Amino acid sequence: MKANLIGRAGDVARLDIPLFLDAVPAGFPSPASDYKERTLDLNELCVKNPAATYFVRAQGDSMIEAGIFPGDVLVVDRSLEARHGDVVIAEFNGELTVKRLELKPEVRLVPMNRRHAPVPVPEGAELEIFGVVTTVIHSLRKP
């Protein structure tokens, strides 16, 4: 799965959208759910460090078992130190990719699709992590 840069978070205007505190069942909605508790700014929810955050659009199917599908927007934080198991944006062998990072027992970039093989990172090879994917924005309604 590849990633294409689509923008940086930077300084963005706050946009408050109503947030209903009742959880939404996957069945018939409760009549009490029209009670609004507060507002929610999606930047507040998705962007913890605006100066270090950027957005990329996913390409390919290697991360579908992680809930990342072609065309999804990934929120990436460069300020986070990548840990074992994180989904990262990485450059390896001259390609930018989205994969789960494994650090033990050996360093590998692991696709989340059984049809794709893990990519071992040999000792001494150049692997650059461009950030940790913190949020996936997946549109249910296609254009």
Tell me which residues are annotated as active site.
Answer: 62, 99
87/56 Cα distance (integer angstroms): 13
- Return the H-helix or E-strand segment holding 7: strand 2-8
Would you call 37 helix, strand, or coil by DSSP?
Answer: strand
Residue 68: exposure state from Cβ atoms within 10 A (0-12, 13-18, ≥19): buried
Quote the radius of gyration of the chain (alpha carbons, Å). 18
